[in-house]
Chains A and B, each alone.
Chain A
Amino acid sequence: MHWTAIGTLSDIPQRGARCIETPEGKIAIFRTGDNRVFAIDDHCPHKGGPLSQGIVHGASVTCPLHSWVISLETGKALGADEGCVRTIPVKVEDGKLYVALNLNAERAA
């Protein structure tokens, strides 16, 4: 697994998200109220809404377009809705953020 540095934890507000641009499209990096970090595709399985713009609560985000609730841990839609978004491995070391874009790397290589 190849880890790419993308910034620091403090770049993302608590209960907020920011995006990174990658060759595979936008990935949303979330920081929860208890400082856990998650990365998922910035693309709601419903109608492609930018999940990074939603309200973050617990380990979920509510899509700004039609209020689907997506689990940041599994990428799955919660409640009555069905759908799933890709999750990307992410880690924090010494306050620095890394994502694993190994799938990308294989494809690009």
Chain B
Amino acid sequence: MTEKLVIIGNGMAPGRMLEHLFERAPDRYEVTIFNAEPRVNYDRIMLSPVLSGEKEYEQIIIHGDGWYIKHGITLYKGHRIVAIDRSAKTVTSDQGVTAPYDKLVIATGSVPFILPVPGNNLPGVLSYRDLDDVNAMLLAAQSRAKAVVIGGGLLGLEAAAGLSARDMDVTVVHLMPTLMERQLDPAAGYMLQRELESRGIKIITKAETKAVLGDRRAEGVELADGRIIPANLVVMAAGIRPSTGLAQDAGLAIQRGILVDDGMHTSDPDIFAIGECAEVGGHVYGLVAPLYEMARIAAAHITGDTSPRFVHNDTPTKLKVTGIDLFSLGDFADGDDRQEIVLRDAEAGVYKRLILKENRIIGTVLYGETSDGAWFNDLKKREVDITEMRDTLIFGQAYQGGAPLDPMAAVAALPDDAEICGCNGVCKGKIVDTIKAKRLSSLDDVRAHTKASASCGSCTGLVEQVLRLTLGDAYNPAAVQPMCGCTDLGHDEVRRLIKAKGLKTIYAVMQELEWRTSCGCAKCRPALNYYLVCDWPGEYADDYQSRFINERVHANIQKDGTYSVVPRMWGGVTSATELRAIADVVDKFNIPTVKVTGGQRIDMLGIKKEDLPAVWADLGRAGFVSGHAYAKGLRTVKTCVGSDWCRFGTQDSTGLGIRIEKFMWGSWTPAKVKMAVSGCPRNCAEATCKDVGVICVDSGFEIHFAGAAGLDIKGTEVLGLVKTEDEALEVIVALVQMYREQARYLERIYKWAKRIGIDEVRRQTLEDAERRIAYFGRFVHSQKFAQVDPWSERVSGLHKHEFRPLAAVPLTQAAE
């Protein structure tokens, strides 16, 4: 008969324990889980990236619903256990479910420490423990400007960085003189403070919180010295306490946490405790590595193998804030019996400190350059006598034994039992063996089979090197197509990092993302310029030297080096005055060819570059602006005559086309955008092969998108039907803004839509009104800076140098 295993709590520790359990004895237990949170097991370490917008909740799920079904687990979501009856061997939830157990695992985790100050229960005061907290913070970030984070430890700083990335004005209030004083020495704490301050986060140290102020909700924080910091959101991140109430009520032995032996047994032999709620050997833990170790040991004991025993190990600490490299391990307090080796490079922002006792490393603090963390950790763990390499120790593994090694050789030199992934306790040998045994070929495979780099991800580079080392040339990391030869990052990654790191110049992107070339190439520079123009309207200064010649001189270069010029004809409608002005320009500048384009306007070809400003000046006087026929931007909006003239016309298609064009001209997009509006389903404006098209019908406007009629031919997809012109405009603008924000440079709408899914586009721009309005708002904001006629700017003298030769060297002078 199968035994009953009941687990209270569904965090990372019990999730991992079950994985081990099913590996050891798949059918031995019938498992029931009670989770006070209404969801499955997700990676809490990754809450910070969710807060900062670098990841979505779906990306951090460890066990999806399918996993529970596959293993026959009964998961009660949103059930809090209120009582354990040890004599009857049952537990009871707040929703009235009672479940019997043979073995019980308590994994209730921890509760945030809420400062006992007045106002600590006001609405607007949050902690930072689970997804609900993150969602509440994101909601606050949307509508409110100021946040105070109480606590400058790991959690508080991650919260602060996340909220700051969400454009909140953030102040961190910290009781101690330096940040993260439990993990960092004062020097590294200071460097960290400088870095965070340079990102706009205000930091007040030695600050004791006296009260949270506010009548009906939080309005500010008052410090003991009388200072008041206004805040609409107050995040308490001043520490955690093991959650022991339930165990205490059940009469189990408690100190700081629920007392367990080194086999994870509580004082009741049928009850185990693991995770942040457990106390073993006088320690309670908050980092994932020891918690996973508890999980492994509990699984063994529950299945009858009593040999594994929990042993305390120092765990390295890393801060998960993008762009800040920080590593700390072990003991780094000063002491008479200790020596230290310090390397400081203020300019490069590097600080390394090793603390030695009897020629062995006992502690390490690395800031700015942390790649040797694993090696130092290994030396510490194995208690290696470092006397021989003392002179060069601080420079890292690459500098041991003469010539510098390349990073691959450094990884090759690591012993098999060197720990690669600290979070999951995976050593090099385990990764190599698994790759060979299971014939793994990708990083994702390795993550799936060994868990290495599957939690915080900071060892990803090391794991990749182990893969490369094991597979040799067979390793092909090109899952993501790099943007160009200057980087290994793909377009999506670069776009994400530009936003996440707040990079606002091309130089900053190349510096921060470690471009291999000094100033990029003709592939990446225009792409980066577009991403920055799109992401930081009004803040980023367009770099014309990174634009293709056509966008630099606002005309189309031809094979002989002359240019063609296409003025805008709104919706393809023109007049005698306009045509006369064009005729005059053609005569005056001897323009050799005049051609009607496919986009319902007139192209003048063969204009000398020097003549461009004068041509534009004349066209401008007649009321013409640039048609952007050269731009990765809005080109034409083709129309038919619609209900004004046509006996079949159902709506004013010409009017709508002109309205769209006047609203959207000047916007830059990843690739060109061509539109059309047809007045009836006969579709004379050919709207069903455009990037965005509208087919007018009696009942309204059918919006189409993702068509193509160039290299590829593809009919459009129907986004949906809307009733009014206003709605049509709003949906179209939102769609284009979504495309602007998400697509890769030079990727047309039809390719982008295919990649992310037609339904997803529809969901975000048609069905989700809130998102639609947000997209619309961002487009309107961007247009404030984009909707400037580039021709008139240049007629007024902008970029004069573009249109004139630097010098003319006459024959006589050259012959002198």
Instruction: Identify the A interface with B (CB < 8 A).
Output: 2, 4, 6-7, 11-16, 18-23, 26, 29, 32-34, 47-50, 53-58, 60, 62, 64-65, 67, 69, 97, 99, 101, 104-105, 108-109
Contacts and interface: CB of A to CB of B under 8 A. Distances in A.
Nearest to A64: B549
Contact of A7 (B520, B806, B815): B806
Interface of B: 517-522, 525-526, 544-550, 552-553, 557, 559-561, 801, 805-811, 813-816
Contact of A15 (B519, B557, B811): B519
Contact of B522 (A6, A13, A19, A54): A54
A49 B519 CA distance: 23
B93 to A, nearest CB: 64
Given A18-B806, A64-B548, 19 more contacts: A7-B806, A12-B806, A21-B805, A21-B807, A26-B805, A29-B806, A33-B518, A53-B553, A53-B561, A55-B525, A55-B548, A57-B522, A58-B517, A58-B519, A60-B521, A65-B559, A69-B522, A99-B809, A101-B809
The 3 closest A-B pairs by CB, nearest first: A62-B522, A108-B815, A18-B806
B548 A57 contact: no
Contacts of B807: 6-7, 20-21
Given A33-B519, A58-B518, A108 B814 contact: yes
Contacts of A56: 545
Contacts, number: 104
A38 B491 CA distance: 32
Contacts of B813: 4
7 contacts: A20-B807, A22-B809, A23-B811, A26-B805, A50-B557, A55-B549, A64-B550
Nearest to A102: B814
Q: By CB atoms of chain A within 10 A, which of B522, B525, B559 has the most?
A: B522
A33 to B, nearest CB: 4
A21 B553 CA distance: 20
B545 A16 contact: yes
B814 A105 contact: yes
Nearest to B544: A13
Contacts of B548: 55, 64
A32 B518 CA distance: 11
A67 B522 contact: yes
B562 to A, nearest CB: 10
Given A55-B525, A58-B517, A62-B521, A14 B809 contact: no
Contacts of A4: 809, 813-814
A53 B805 CA distance: 12
Given A50-B561, A64-B549, A101-B814, A20 B518 contact: no
A95 to B, nearest CB: 14
A15 B814 contact: no
B518 A34 contact: yes
A22 B544 CA distance: 27
A13 B545 contact: yes
A32 B808 CA distance: 22
Nearest to B507: A33
B238 to A, nearest CB: 48
Contact of B809 (A20, A48, A55, A58): A20
A54 B815 CA distance: 30
B814 A22 contact: yes
A69 B522 CA distance: 9
Contact of B806 (A6, A58, A109): A6
Contacts of A57: 517, 519-522, 525
A27 B171 CA distance: 57
